[in-house]
Structure 1
Amino acid sequence: MIISTEELKSWDKHRRTNLLNKLSGYKSAHLLGTKSMEGITNLATINTVIHVGANPFLLGYLSRPLVVKRHSFNNIVATGSYTLNQIHESIVEQAHQCSAKYPGGESEFEKVGLHEHYLPGAHAPCVQESKIKMLLQLKEIVPIKTNDTVFVIGEVIQFELDESSIESNGHLAMDKLETVAINGLDSYYRCSHFATLPYAKPE
């Protein structure tokens, strides 16, 4: 089956959107934690986090077009502080509910029943229930002109996780942490490790 993007224009919008959101495959699932200058906390479900570099330790995420209010993005710009909290099986439903469009004056923590947790010196809250919590400092915002999105890059200042999940060689046993993957905006998957291969060199 070969489908052209031109052909997709004739599809039902909901069906087309579902397919295109899922076509690129599994992604990591995070809750983005921020706090406004007025002290209102915010949580957003995101699936666009990528590793940018290890020295310094940089992560980036893609923020959707800013044509509507983006509470998380605005908080990051105003304070420079935010957190990324990996989603695991036990909090999937609460984490997914954070994708709802709550008014700016309401905290998703309170609405979905998750709890705030602060790493030392942090302005932005982590999610207490998350098994991998990362505190970031904003470093750069890169506009993407093609579709008016922005790529937000931050440096990880601190992170918190269960020490038993770190293997002797530095590998992280994600399956022990019940980390989930997300595809599209609504489909969650369990993760299981099946192979660790040696560093590849030309034969």
Structure 2
Amino acid sequence: MFYETSANDHGLPHNPFKAIVSPRPIGWISSKDAEGRFNLAPYSFFNAIGDTPPMVMFSSTGYKDSVTNIDATGEFVCNFVSQDLAAEMNASSAPLPHGESEFERAGLDMAEGRVVGVPRVARAYAALECRHLSTQRMVSLEGVETNSWVVFGQVVGIHIAEEAIVDGRFDVTKVNPLARLGYLDYAAVAEVFQLTRPNS
């Protein structure tokens, strides 16, 4: 099959785009508003975009609390979502009123940031403390502003749980990262394999 996205006439019961672009890591973003209230929300349009220095991005459909908070305070944390935190991550996605705590709703303890003034999820196997670089509202080919807001940050501190390090490496088979697929589907990484890059 083939369809042009401008017409969105794929003829399927559900849009397949997010199922095709998968699995996607989940950026579980904690932030703080200008009044010092904390927010926690998962974003599946998330990834690392550089390693020297380390940088990350996430995209929000709508100018939501996370984007508002980060634009106001210049700081955020990307928390690692493991399979054992799936229920809590899902609970934190509820559309709570501004200022109501997703940490509390999901029953999650906070741990203080070391470099930034934003807490992390205490149970997360890893967390990236970030400082805001920029926020960009995406514009379509037709020059129309979309409702997608991309937040870029530089990682300034990294937390790793000791039990996640095996033989000097962050062992994903031990901590089972949760990934977002399409529809209501998720997957957990439980097995890996290695490939050596060709020299020529």
TM-score (structure 1 length as normaliser): 0.85
What is the CA-CA distance between 1:176 and the residue it aligns to? 1.0
SS of residue matched to 1:143: strand
User: Does 2:90 match 1:106?
Assistant: no
Determine if contact 2:60/2:67 at 8 Å carries over to the other structure: yes
Report 1:153-172 matches (<5 A): 153-163=152-162, 165-166=164-165, 171-172=169-170
Alpha-carbon deviation of 1:185? 6.0
| 2:52 equivalent in structure 1 | 55
Q: Secondary structure at the match of 1:16?
A: coil
2:39 counterpart (14, 19, 42): 42
Any idea what the Cα deviations from partners look like across 1:3-25, whole Å, max 9, x if unmatched? 4247853757xx324x3322212
The CA distance in 2 between the partners of 1:112 and 1:148, in whole Å, is: 27
Moved more, 79-88 or 140-149: 140-149
Do structure 1's residue 195 and structure 2's residue 189 form an aligned pair?
A: no
Does 2:66 correspond to 1:94?
A: no
CA displacement 1:129-168 (0-9 Å, x = unmatched): 1111111000122331013422211011111113454466
Where does the alignment leave 5 or more consecutive residues of structure 2 unmatched?
141-145
How far did 1:112 drift?
1.3
Structure number having the greater helix percentage? 1
Q: Distance in 1 between matches of 2:164 and 2:122?
A: 17
Secondary structure of 1:153's match?
strand
For 1:182, the equivalent position in structure 2 comes to 180
Instruction: Check the 8 A contact 1:96/1:186 in 2, yes or no.
Output: no
**Paired residue for 1:123, among 105, 117, 121?**
117
Structure 1: tracts of 5 or more residues without a match: none
Alpha-carbon distance in structure 2 between the residues aligned to 1:151 and 1:28: 16
2:77–2:129: 8 Å Cα contact kept in structure 1?
Answer: yes
Question: Number of paired residues?
Answer: 194
Secondary structure, in 3 states, of the residue corresponding to 2:17? Answer: helix
Q: Pick the structure with more strand per residue.
A: 2
Write the distance in 2 (CA, Å) between the matches of 1:89 and 1:60: 22
TM-score, normalised via structure 2 length: 0.86
**Percent identity of the aligned residues?**
21
